[in-house]
Amino acid sequence: MSRAFVNEDAGATPEPTYDLPDPTSAYYPEAAAWALLQGADQGDSVGAERATGHRWGDPELVPHVQAILERAEAEDNGRLRQLARRFLRAAR
């Protein structure tokens, strides 16, 4: 194989990190919702699920993702709106 097609830096990209409050915090579900959307945006849904303990489309997080969707619509943030809608569809 030609070296032109070898990515020598493969795996050098650091894994995304998720800054979450203590799981017993009242803010944890909202932070987990944000982290799942962030992970999906970065192509790291599995890592976000692992970090939060919630799966993509978790019904427990629907109210928080709905609020995020409303914010995304108010701010005309197309990417966040798209991700929030995907999450809500998965929750059904």
> Which carries the bigger pLDDT value, residue 6 or residue 52?
52
Q: What confidence score (pLDDT) does residue 52 get?
A: 98
Residue range 62-77, pLDDT digits in tens = 999 999 999 999 999 9
Task: Write out pLDDT tens, residues 9-55.
Answer: 566 677 889 999 999 999 999 999 999 999 999 999 999 999 999 99
What is the Cα–Cα distance from 60 to 39, expressed in whole angstroms?
18
> For the chain, what are the domain ranges?
33-92
Does residue 3 register a pLDDT over 90?
no
**What distance in Å separates the CA atoms of residue 88 and residue 25, rounded to the nearest whole number?**
23
Residues in contact with 22: Cβ distance below 8 Å, sequence separation at least 6, in sequence order: 28
Instruction: Give the side-chain half-sphere CA count within 13 A for 71.
Output: 10
Neighbours of 81 (CB within 10 A): 18
Give the span between the Cα atoms of 14 and 69, in whole angstroms. 28
